[in-house]
Amino acid sequence: MLLEIQTYGKQVLRTPTEEIPEINDELRSFISDMFETMYAAEGIGLAAPQVDKSLRLFIVDLSPMDESEGRRVFVNPQITAFGDEKDEYEEGCLSIPTIHEIVTRPTTIRITYQDLDGNAYDEEIDGFLARVIQHEYDHLEKTLFVDRLSSLKKSLIKKTLKKIASGEIEVEASENFQL
């Protein structure tokens, strides 16, 4: 079932997320719907707040860009460390249609999380996957990629953000992969 992607201006994107106490069939069904929604929107990552659930959960599938990186589920993730090296990359977001901006992020992270079967992980991740994880993790922390832009960049996109918040600009599938 396709879920409605919440766009800039919706309160759920700024609401604290809650830990998931139990991985059950209801959660698995919700995650399945998240994947279906993400693929329909041509995304490579999707966080629960983006589909109106204030839960500590996000999904990633980089296979459209890297066949070695398939579907991954991150339940109750916690980034525990950031590497010192940083890089820049143009990011977009399913919740902020039409805007793409350069964002600086660490190239390496350490993250703890559970998968769909409840297995616990503590991983060091680098490269593009680390960037995508940080972007999705930000959604769990009430942060959007536009919050990471300079004041000048924010002022340049202010009018577009207002149009998104008012519903004048809607979510559509894109030629570019969205986070």
In the chain, the N- to C-terminal Cα span, in Å, equals 20
Give catalytic status of residue 91 as yes or no: no
Predicted local distance difference test score (pLDDT) of residue 175: 43
> Tokens 């953000």 appear where?
161
Predicted local distance difference test score (pLDDT) of residue 169: 82
Predicted local distance difference test score (pLDDT) of residue 154: 93
Predicted local distance difference test score (pLDDT) of residue 172: 58
User: CA-to-CA distance for 66 and 47, rounded, in angstroms?
Assistant: 20
Predicted local distance difference test score (pLDDT) of residue 64: 80
Residues 6+ away with beta carbon under 8 Å from 14: 142
Q: What CATH number should be reported for the domain whose range is 11-166?
A: 3.90.45.10
| Count of CB atoms situated within 10 Å of the CB of 4 | 11
Catalytic residue among 136, 141, 172, 175: 136
What string of pLDDT tens digits covers the 179 residues of the chain? 999 999 999 999 999 999 999 999 999 999 999 999 999 999 999 999 999 999 999 999 998 877 778 899 999 999 999 999 999 999 999 999 999 999 999 999 999 999 999 999 999 999 999 999 999 999 999 999 999 999 999 999 999 999 999 988 876 544 445 55
Start-end of H helices in 4-64: 25-40
| Count of CB atoms situated within 10 Å of the CB of 56 | 22
Predicted local distance difference test score (pLDDT) of residue 176: 45
Domain boundaries, the chain: 11-166
